[in-house]
Structure 1
Amino acid sequence: MKLIAGLGNPGKEYEHTRHNMGFDVVDELASRWHVLNWKEAFKAEIATVVVHGEKVCLMKPLTYMNLSGEAVGAAARFYKIDAEDIWVICDDLDLPAGRTRIRKKGSAGGHNGLKSIIAHLGTQNFTRFRIGVGHPQDGHTVVDHVLGKPYGEDIARIAEAKKHTADSVEGALEMGVDKAMSAFNPHKESRK
């Protein structure tokens, strides 16, 4: 069983902000997979579905970003899911807007949602599907940037990145994370 957690903040005021990329990608996957059985459990909205023969639990934590680990940890313990089978979808300030990357493990990199998940799981060894939102411009603070909606050229870039991330999750379910990293991560020559 895979636990696929999209990170974000609950509430209308946070919908489609940079920090809610994870929620948006989980919604895209739920739409593609015709998921309608959402319920509240583990301080999250969850739904289960079978994809490519694998049972998947989709999750959108309702704890607010900084406490995401409460929901992810509770579901992982309940379903006895190993860290390697937990996939987290989140925004990333250190990637340019619209760039995506899959990583199998690593530090929180300053992301409070990831920091909380690491604390609750006791390991960094879970897969992340990261969507670049870039660094703040025009004198905005980091908080204003991540809690704001994309504008200008970033709107199309980030919309495409969300679809690409959903494609990469489906690819990872079908072919495994390592092959999906080769297929969906940007190649060195295109990182200029």
Structure 2
Amino acid sequence: MMLKKIFNWSRSPKVDPMKYLIVGLGNIGSEYEDTRHNIGFNVLDELAKQEGLKFENLRYGAVCEYRFKGKTLVLLKPSTYMNLSGKAIRYWMQQEKIKPENLLVVVDDLALPFESIRMRQKGSDAGHNGLKNIQEIFGHSNYSRIRYGIGDNFSRGKQIDYVLGKWSSDEMAALPEGIDHAITMIKGFATIGPARTMNQYNKK
């Protein structure tokens, strides 16, 4: 039953207010590399590269720790595949004693044009399997997310092929700027908070 899956925050251990969980959604495996659905992985990989961090393969995902302006950001790339992302997130929030307000998920979004990048503090799953599982596990959708627009340039019945398809050459050329923008938003989330980050950095 779904009720058994819901994470009961009231029973969780004392949280660390200076610690954040930053989750990039994607699918593991070489066949999914550089696909639109894996933009969450791409953003965290680039952040780790810029800061000289290395991911370690641990339970339910690849994890590394990033210290920034007195805050600790735990970066997580779930290894559970997209439709079980919530399982990995629940485990690492409990493991690292992170409060729900300090969770940020980076996810691809068909509803936004390519290069449109927006932070939201809550919202529906919009049919996204990763967000859908997170909502099933937590019993709500009140967590922050960065929605990275991948556009909807596909013909009828080709949505799955598009989402799991490789970026076009033009998109690949534009990705570094967009990924850097998402990284700036991650840093803003942990320092100036989601409201100010949205006001300053949400990109249409």
Q: TM-score, normalised by structure 2?
A: 0.85
Moved >4 Å (runs of 4+): none
Task: Answer yes or no: is the 8 Å Cα contact 1:83–1:121 preserved in 2.
Answer: no
Query: Which digits, 9 at most, give the CA deviation of each residue in 1:150-181, with x for residues without a partner?
Result: 21533333442222111211222232111111
- Where does structure 2 lack aligned partners over 5 or more consecutive residues? 1-18
Which residue of structure 2 lines up, in the alignment, with residue 49 of structure 1?
66
Q: Kindly indicate whether residue 31 of structure 2 is the aligned counterpart of residue 13 of structure 1.
A: yes
1:67 Cα deviation after fit: 0.8
Distance 2:78 2:149 in 1: 20
1:66 Cα deviation after fit: 0.9
Distance 1:136 1:129 in 2: 21
Which residue of structure 2 lines up, in the alignment, with residue 24 of structure 1?
42
Q: Secondary structure at the match of 1:118?
A: helix
1:50 Cα deviation after fit: 1.3
Matched pairs, number: 186
Amino acid at match of 2:178: A
Distance 2:80 2:202 in 1: 30
Which residue of structure 2 lines up, in the alignment, with residue 161 of structure 1?
178
In the TM superposition, 1:96-111 aligns within 5 A as 96-111=113-128
Which residue of structure 1 lines up, in the alignment, with residue 89 of structure 2?
72
Distance 1:180 1:14 in 2: 30
In the TM superposition, 1:1-192 aligns within 5 A as 1-36=19-54, 38-139=55-156, 141-186=158-203
Q: Secondary structure at the match of 1:129?
A: strand
Which residue of structure 1 lines up, in the alignment, with residue 8 of structure 2?
none
Amino acid at match of 2:95: F
Task: Give the fraction of aligned pairs with identical amino acids, expressed as a percent.
Answer: 39
Distance 1:138 1:156 in 2: 23
- Cα distance change of structure 1 residues 35 and 53 upon mapping to structure 2, 3 Å threshold: same
Query: Which digits, 9 at most, give the CA deviation of each residue in 1:72-120, with x for residues without a partner?
Result: 1111122222211110001000000111000011111111101111222
1:138 Cα deviation after fit: 4.3
Distance 1:21 1:164 in 2: 13
